[in-house]
Amino acid sequence: MNNPLVQPDPGLYIWTIVTFLVLLALLARFAWRPLLDALEQRQQVIRKSLDDARQARQELEQVKTEAARLLSEARVEAGEIVSRTRSEAARFAEEMKVKARTDADALVKRAEREIEMQTARAMENIRRETVELSVAIASKILRRDISKEDNERLLNDTLKEMQSRLPH
């Protein structure tokens, strides 16, 4: 059996190799090169996306860190403000207490002065009335006029004597 398809033919081999090489050159030039270029570009896009994702993650971490720092600073500042407000409120309350005490003391002193003045006026009125009454009584008793000055002197001496005997 001599089958020509099974028989080795050197010309067929050469033409098969030449066809294969031409096909290989054509595929390399028009198919593989653009395919490899497309794959390279795709790889670069993926690398860039990964790099961008890493950078975004780092920026997110930085933002988180900054936010935590700002939150911490805000808490500290809020604590300081609350502390300052409390101390100012305590100081204001103390100032108000001192002012109230001062006002109360001034009111008491004014009242004491007023009482002293009223007492002095009352004593002066009592003295005057006593002098007039003494003069009237003495005039009736003696049936004569005693000078007002004599009577005042006598009355003042008596009052001084009485005041010196009173406990202070």
The per-residue pLDDT for range 12-41, each reduced to its tens digit, is 889 889 999 999 898 888 888 888 888 999
pLDDT at 166: 64
Rounded to whole angstroms, the Cα distance separating 145 from 140 reads 9
The tokens describing 31, both together, are: 């198919």
Q: What is the largest CA-CA distance in the chain?
A: 198
Using CA atoms of 43, 49, 52, 58 in order, give the dihedral in degrees to the nearest 10: -100
Six token digits for residue 152: 């005042």
**Residue range 80-101: mean pLDDT, rounded:** 93
More confident residue, 120 or 42: 42
This model's pTM is above 0.85: no
Domain segments of the chain: what residues?
A: 44-163
